[in-house]
């Protein structure tokens, strides 16, 4: 397992909360100039293939860790509405988490190494060290929640049972997804969407920075 230098760990680099904020901004600007109804009509015409393609795309953002699935939580709300969009997200997340867990559990680190980014190796090693217990699983989920793909791969490499892993991660993931999908579903009404984000974006930034700081503190205590 690669070494991990805590001095080089920066929440702003590893958790990429600025990326989430930029994604939201880009989507707001894009849909301010693009007719949302046009996209929704295209989805309706695609029939069953639209949700299938979306679910497969969501799975890929988890299995291939360097890909970011954050924009999809907003886009699905725009294209499908809140409840159908949330259902597709939950299905995609469940299958993605299960596949990532299974890859690491049955094939081990050599194969996992091919699915994650180089700069995430040290963080993955530290996540594994905290996933042996229920308390550790909850701790990792709350402090590293923007990176469920690393949690899934890390859980597979740890001794935690699959049922315990998925029963902890999925409810927390579904709660976060419901908030993001709700924001996306409000893109049709830009004023409501902007109002929600004035409140939500600072909260997300605070949560991510706080979570990253807690994780760093835990790592330091473990090393000491």
Residue 8 has pLDDT above 50, yes or no: no
Answer for the pair 146, 17: CB distance below 8 angstroms, yes or no: yes
Burial of residue 130 (CB within 10 Å: 0-12, 13-18, 19+) is buried
What is the structure's pLDDT at 50?
93
Answer for the pair 164, 5: CB distance below 8 angstroms, yes or no: no
Q: How confident is the model at residue 10 (pLDDT cuts 50, 70, 90)?
A: very low
For residues 178-209, one letter each, b for 16 or more C-beta atoms within 10 angstroms of the residue's C-beta and e for the rest, the string is bebbbbbbbbeeeeebeeebeebbeebeebbe
What is the structure's pLDDT at 107?
95
User: What is the rounded distance in angstroms from the CA atom of residue 85 to the CA atom of residue 58?
Assistant: 12
197-218 mean pLDDT: 61
User: What is the rounded distance in angstroms from the CA atom of residue 93 to the CA atom of residue 88?
Assistant: 8
User: What is the rounded distance in angstroms from the CA atom of residue 146 to the CA atom of residue 16?
Assistant: 8
Of residues 61 and 216, the one with the higher pLDDT is: 61
Chain length of the chain: 224
Q: How confident is the model at residue 15 (pLDDT cuts 50, 70, 90)?
A: very low
Q: Is 200 helix (H, G, I), strand (E, B) or coil?
A: helix
Which DSSP state fits 64?
Answer: S
User: What is the rounded distance in angstroms from the CA atom of residue 202 to the CA atom of residue 197?
Assistant: 8
Sign (positive or negative) of CA dihedral 92, 98, 102, 104:
positive
Of residues 222 and 167, the one with the higher pLDDT is: 167
Average pLDDT taken over every residue of the chain: 76
User: What is the rounded distance in angstroms from the CA atom of residue 216 to the CA atom of residue 220?
Assistant: 6
What is the structure's pLDDT at 220?
55
What is the structure's pLDDT at 135?
81
User: What is the rounded distance in angstroms from the CA atom of residue 35 to the CA atom of residue 20?
Assistant: 23
* Model confidence pLDDT, tens digit, residues 89-141: 999 999 999 999 999 999 999 899 888 877 677 778 888 877 878 888 888 88
Q: How confident is the model at residue 166 (pLDDT cuts 50, 70, 90)?
A: very high
């Amino acid at each position: 397992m690669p070494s991990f230098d805590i001095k080089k760990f920066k929440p702003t680099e590893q958790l990429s909360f600025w990326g989430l904020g930029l994604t939201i901004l880009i989507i707001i600007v894009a849909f301010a100039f693009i007719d949302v109804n046009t996209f929704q009509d295209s989805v309706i015409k695609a029939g069953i293939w639209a949700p299938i393609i979306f679910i497969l795309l969501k799975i890929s953002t988890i299995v291939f860790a360097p890909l970011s699935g954050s924009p999809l939580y907003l886009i699905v709300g725009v294209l499908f509405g809140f409840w159908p969009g949330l259902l597709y997200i939950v299905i995609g997340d469940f299958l993605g988490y299960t596949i990532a867990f299974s890859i690491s559990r049955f094939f081990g680190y050599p194969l996992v190494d091919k699915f994650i980014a180089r700069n995430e190796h040290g963080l993955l090693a530290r996540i594994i060290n905290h996933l042996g217990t229920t308390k550790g699983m909850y701790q990792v989920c709350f402090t590293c929640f923007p990176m469920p793909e690393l949690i899934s791969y890390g859980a597979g490499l740890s001794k935690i049972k699959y049922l315990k892993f998925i029963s902890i991660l999925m409810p927390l993931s579904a709660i976060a997804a419901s908030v993001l999908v709700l924001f996306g579903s409000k893109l049709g009404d830009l004023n409501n969407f902007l109002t929600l984000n004035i409140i939500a974006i600072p909260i997300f930034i605070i949560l991510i920075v706080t979570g990253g700081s807690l994780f760093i503190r835990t790592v330091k205590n473990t090393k000491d």
